[in-house]
Structure 1
Amino acid sequence: MIRDDIRADEAEPDLHARAWLRDAARLLGRTREALAVDLIATMLRSGAIVLRDQRLHAAAEHNLVAPRSLRTPYSRAWPAAEPR
Structure 2
Amino acid sequence: MQLSEAREAFDDRLSFPVDRETVDDRVGDVRLEAPNGEDTTVGAVLERTETTEFASPGELHDTVAGLVDDAFVGRKRYDDRGNGGERRDDEQSF
TM-score (norm 2): 0.28
Q: Which has the larger radius of gyration?
A: 2
Which is richer in strand? Answer: 1
Which is richer in helix? Answer: 1
TM-score (norm 1): 0.29
